[in-house]
């Protein structure tokens, strides 16, 4: 008799085992020749080596499914155990455009035409610029694409970065250690991750550096391969900082740069490098550019009107300057 221990490191054991271990009971019933027990996040199994090999393969498939969707029903467990394809019956009405199955059954997908353009362009370009005003889903969609790539094992890690405290990244005057200093500026990235990855799994990813969230300055000197990189708030980066970030990309990496040219927070003696960088790179094969507008706003209905009002005011000011 042989023994096998399987550690559930990337999924929630409570979801895997089920309430009162009801999902574990399905496994025990299917593999009744094996002695199966659960301890914390471990499955301890004893039996013949042949049965253990089959059991291990099925558990791997269950974990893979749970990693992708965040939850698994008794029906889908049965389908996997009996060799049927559970992906054909899971949320069939949303299969074509769902990016990520988030927490509590949340379906994360493109909600506007330009968001869908962003998704489509990301499939054909290794570097993608997503430019538009606040509330258009640039960051959220980019993070969803990164999480999807990680769940599909297209990449091994996600790198999320943005300029902290404007572009100068002068954090010294703030209280606390480095993490406490930079976390407020990276909060939107954390919020997106919180929607898409279960807390325990997200903590595991962060602890093991599968997902890294860091200020832009910390990208210097690195070469990042098999990674999905996102530079958020790129309008607050200089041309040199953008060049530094873009030259970090390895042979099997992908990156998305998001920015809002109407919200530049740089000091008066510094210029945003985003517009110039896009001009320099325009026309290079493998680099895509998607522009979102007020019509893509998915926040409160008034946000769209607010953006349009500020745009009109900016046009009036520009008109007076020119005349």
- Domain with residue 255: its CATH number is 3.40.50.300
Question: Are 228 and 255 spatial neighbours (Cβ–Cβ below 8 Å)?
Answer: yes
Residue 43 pLDDT > 90: yes
Q: Are residues 219 and 249 in the same domain?
A: yes
Q: Among 88, 112, 130, which residue terminates a domain? A: 88
Residue 320 pLDDT > 90: no
Question: Are 196 and 103 spatial neighbours (Cβ–Cβ below 8 Å)?
Answer: yes
Q: Are residues 173 and 217 in the same domain?
A: yes
Q: Are residues 140 and 263 in the same domain?
A: yes
Question: Are 182 and 161 spatial neighbours (Cβ–Cβ below 8 Å)?
Answer: no
Mean pLDDT, residues 181-192: 77
Q: Are residues 203 and 100 in the same domain?
A: yes
Structural domain for 309, as ranges: 96-322
Q: How many domains does the chain have?
A: 2
- Give the Cα separation of 139 and 118 in Å (integer): 11
Ramachandran area for residue 286 (φ above 0: left; ψ -120 to 50: alpha; else beta): left
**Which residue would you say has higher pLDDT here, 288 or 299?**
288
Q: Which residues of 36-54 are buried (b: 16+ CB within 10 A; e: fewer)?
A: bebeebebebebeeebbee
pLDDT at residue 92, as a whole number = 40
Q: Are residues 139 and 12 in the same domain?
A: no
pLDDT at residue 186, as a whole number = 77
Helix, coil or strand: residue 207: helix
pLDDT at residue 109, as a whole number = 80
Q: Are residues 242 and 316 in the same domain?
A: yes
- Find how far residue 281's CA is from the centre of its chain: 25
Mean pLDDT of the chain: 83
- Pair of tokens at residue 299: 């926040």
Q: Among 88, 108, 128, which residue terminates a domain? A: 88
- Give the Cα separation of 53 and 42 in Å (integer): 17
Helix, coil or strand: residue 212: strand
Mean pLDDT, residues 10-25: 86
Q: Are residues 54 and 165 in the same domain?
A: no
Q: Among 40, 63, 88, which residue terminates a domain? A: 88
pLDDT at residue 180, as a whole number = 65
Residue 80 pLDDT > 80: yes
Report field, pTM of the whole predicted structure over 0.85: no
Q: How confident is the model at residue 319 (pLDDT cuts 50, 70, 90)?
A: low
pLDDT at residue 118, as a whole number = 92
């Amino acid at each position: 008799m042989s023994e096998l221990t399987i550690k559930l490191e990337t999924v929630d054991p409570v979801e895997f085992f089920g309430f009162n271990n009801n999902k574990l009971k399905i496994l025990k019933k299917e593999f009744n020749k094996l002695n199966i027990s659960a301890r914390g996040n471990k499955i301890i199994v004893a039996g013949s080596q042949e049965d253990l090999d089959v059991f291990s393969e099925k558990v791997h498939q269950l974990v893979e499914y749970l990693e992708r969707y965040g939850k698994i029903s008794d029906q889908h467990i049965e389908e996997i155990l009996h060799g049927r394809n559970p992906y054909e019956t899971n949320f069939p009405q949303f299969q074509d455009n769902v990016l990520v199955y988030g927490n509590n059954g949340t379906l994360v997908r493109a909600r506007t035409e330009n968001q869908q353009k962003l998704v489509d362009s990301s499939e054909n370009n290794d570097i993608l610029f997503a430019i538009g005003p606040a509330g258009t889903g640039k960051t959220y969609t980019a993070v969803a694409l990164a999480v999807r790539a990680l769940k599909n094992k297209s990449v091994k890690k996600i790198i999320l970065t943005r300029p902290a405290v404007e572009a100068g990244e002068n954090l010294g005057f703030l209280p606390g250690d480095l993490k406490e200093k930079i976390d407020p500026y990276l909060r939107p990235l954390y919020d997106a991750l919180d929607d898409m990855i279960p807390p325990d799994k997200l903590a595991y990813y962060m602890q093991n550096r599968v997902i890294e969230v860091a200020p832009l300055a910390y990208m210097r000197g690195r070469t990042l391969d098999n990674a999905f990189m996102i530079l958020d708030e790129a309008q607050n980066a200089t041309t040199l900082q953008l060049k530094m970030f873009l030259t970090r990309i390895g042979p099997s990496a992908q990156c998305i740069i998001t920015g809002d040219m109407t919200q530049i927070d740089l000091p008066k003696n510094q210029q945003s490098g985003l517009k110039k960088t896009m001009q320099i790179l325009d026309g290079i094969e493998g680099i895509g550019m998607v522009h979102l507008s007020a019509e893509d706003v998915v926040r409160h209905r008034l946000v769209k009107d607010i953006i349009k009002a500020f745009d009109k005011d900016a046009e009036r000011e520009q008109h007076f300057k020119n005349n």
